[in-house]
Amino acid sequence: MGFGCRSSISEPNLPKDLKYTIVEDAKMIGRIKRSIVVLLNKKVDVKVLSKLARKLRNSDPVDYDKTFIRYLIDKEDSLGYWASSHFTPYLNVKILRPFIEGSEKKLIESKFKSNGEIIGTWRSNQFELDFTESSTRFLFVEGRYFSESLLLSDSSETTILFEMEKIECGNERICFKARYGSSPFHHNAINSEGELEHWYQGKITSIDKSIK
């Protein structure tokens, strides 16, 4: 992911060598919530992120109840969000990536540790709603397969558990789909590199990296 001339912005009261590109700016009807994803050309400290966050929030005349801003780093965007600066309504800046191990630790210490086999654990780059960190693992417990996802935000923690079934898919992949209520066009696959692939209508939509 790179910088386009039209959308790259440089501000005089920010470091001169800092450039950012707004890659997503989603607004709910009314003034409930605004979600922004920003691509940075370099990592900066919390003070600079705070200045940038206020500029981004003030770039829209609407005073939203909540503004969620997440940051990617150029050439590292496949690793997921590097930082966040959320107004809920007060500004809270966090450097996310150093704390990724937190979700892995919570998964390992979950109730399945004593009586289940961990097939794999992955860190997700796909975030829904207001969650800023996500990890998923597949487990084999008493003859049944499960997918357990841990979703973390700045103020909450949610665990989602699905029963899965193993399906045939070939191509050196081990494939699973949700046992109940899943789309017939969606399934997950563990590839030969140990990554977790998300498939929809015969195409890979995203790939999660394995947590060693």
Q: Where are the domains of the chain?
A: 8-97, 101-210
Q: Is the dihedral of CA 183, 186, 190, 194 positive or negative?
A: negative
Residue with token string 């992949």 = 173
The dotted CATH code for 101-210 is 2.40.128
Determine how many CB atoms are found less than 10 A away from the CB of residue 36.
Answer: 21
Summarize pLDDT for 86-136 with one digit per residue, the tens: 898 888 887 765 433 455 445 545 545 556 788 888 887 555 445 556 788
Task: Give me the percent of the chain exceeding a pLDDT of 90.
Answer: 18
Average pLDDT of the chain to the nearest whole number: 76
54 pLDDT band (50/70/90 cuts)? very high
Separation of alpha carbons 22 and 172, rounded Å: 38
Is the pTM higher than 0.75? The answer reads no
Residue 189's pLDDT is 92
Separation of alpha carbons 163 and 177, rounded Å: 9
Summarize pLDDT for 1-26 with one digit per residue, the tens: 444 332 444 444 888 889 999 999 98
Contact 20, 41 (CB under 8 A): yes
pLDDT above 80 for 198: yes
End-to-end CA distance of the chain, in Å? 26
Residue 56's pLDDT is 93
Q: What are phi and psi of 128, to 5 degrees?
A: -115, 150
Q: Beta strand 91-95 with 66-73: parallel, antiparallel or unpaired?
A: unpaired
What DSSP state is assigned to residue 94? E
Q: Where are the alpha helices (DSSP H) in 7-142?
A: 46-58, 101-108
